[in-house]
Amino acid sequence: MKLLAPKSLEEALAMLAADAEIVPIAGGTDLLVDWPSNLDAHTRTYLDLSALEPLRAHRLNDHSLVLGALSSYWQVIEDAAVTAAFPLLASAARQVGAVQIQTRGTWAGNVANASPAADGVPVLMAYDARVELVYKNETETVPLAAFYTGYKQMRRTSGQLIRALHLPRRRYKLERFVKVGARRAQAIAKLGVAITCSGAGWRVVASSVAPTVCRCPALERLLASGAPIRCPEDLLPAIDRDTAPIDDLRSTADYRRRVLARVLFATLTEEPTA
């Protein structure tokens, strides 16, 4: 294994431009669990981002939140202003792994890892996050909702680094994140759902029910229509259009679609908090 340790973003980008096979490493919490079983990973060249202090910062102003590429879950949990402005970020962060993972793991690493069961991605997507990608001195920004193209496939080409995630600041009438797992810590989601409603419309984002974390356009249209939803089963036709759950070691496809319907129904019918 070779480890490159750039001291600046410019140096990191030059290294990536010279060899697009280099693998960026942020907190390492996804990459390193793979090591015991993935021997190929031992011979790769890694780019350790941890000395790039400017990427660690997050910035909240009246219009947006910017999470630098090294911003961790713990940073959000500890920041009362961010937690108040984006409560679902804190809610998801508290449910990622346990404290050790929350302090090392990054939002950008969660996005780039592209797991369909990720907990950070649904809440970022429900807040209309955009992914800022940089290659040499070229920057592009892609909506997170359009970032994934298939299982573990994304619109990040090799050589591109995620520099930051950008979230617009809005007034929300409803914000919820629910993760269904076998236990409260150290559990991969059987399913997850993040829901927001603002002047920009409804966002319903589900995890563990498709090859990628995904927005659910049929559900969003149903909620926007104001059609009466009398029981969880009324949501199933839209859920079946939006998702493609599978049976796996954590759950069954049918459990996932039915529990998603129940979780959504409970969220939509619960008493609003003041």
Ligand X SMILES: Cc1cc2nc3c(=O)[nH]c(=O)nc-3n(C[C@H](O)[C@H](O)[C@H](O)COP(=O)(O)OP(=O)(O)OC[C@H]3O[C@@H](n4cnc5c(N)ncnc54)[C@H](O)[C@@H]3O)c2cc1C
Positions touching ligand X (CB under 6 A) are 23-31, 33, 69, 96-97, 101, 104-106, 108-110, 112-113, 118-120, 161-162, 186
Work out how close the CB of 60 gets to ligand X at its nearest, in angstroms, rounded to a whole number.
20
Q: How far is the CB of 37 from ligand X (least distance, A)?
A: 13
CA pair distance 115, 151, nearest whole angstrom:
8
The residue among 95 and 196 lying less far from ligand X, judged by its C-beta, is: 95
Smaller CB distance to ligand X: residue 20 or 23?
Answer: 23
Q: How far is the CB of 150 from ligand X (least distance, A)?
A: 16
Closest CA to 192 of 130, 138, 123, 127: 123
To ligand X, the closest distance from the beta carbon of 227 in angstroms equals 33
Of residues 32 and 200, the one with the C-beta less far from ligand X? 32
Nearer to ligand X, 41 or 236 (CB): 41
Contact 206, 119 (CB under 8 A): no
Whole-Å CA distances, 75 to 67, 128, 133, 172, 254: 10, 20, 22, 22, 37
Closer residue to ligand X, CB minimum distance, 75 or 202 = 75
Query: Measured from the CB of residue 238, what is the shortest distance to ligand X in angstroms?
Result: 25
Nearer to ligand X by Cβ, of 7 and 173: the residue is 7
Closest-approach residue to ligand X (CB): 109
Please identify, using beta-carbon distances, which residue of 29 and 212 lies nearer to ligand X.
Answer: 29
3-state secondary structure the chain: CEEECCCCHHHHHHHHHHCCCCEEECCCCCCHHHCCCCHHHHHCEEEECCCCHHHHCEEECCCEEEEECCCEHHHHHHCHHHHHHCHHHHHHHHCCCCHHHHHHCEHHHHHHHCCCCCCHHHHHHHCCCEEEEEECCEEEEEEHHHCEEECCEECCCCCCEEEEEEEECCCEEEEEEEEECCCCCCCCCCEEEEEEEECCEEEEEEECCCCCCEECHHHHHHHHHCCCCCCHHHHHHHHHHHCCCCCECCECHHHHHHHHHHHHHHHHHCCCCC
Least distance from ligand X to the Cβ atom of residue 164, Å? 9
Nearest approach, Cβ of residue 199 and ligand X (Å): 29
Q: Give the number of other Cβ atoms within 10 Å of residue 166's Cβ.
A: 19
Nearer to ligand X, 208 or 235 (CB): 208
Residue 255 Cβ vs ligand X, minimum distance, rounded to whole Å: 19
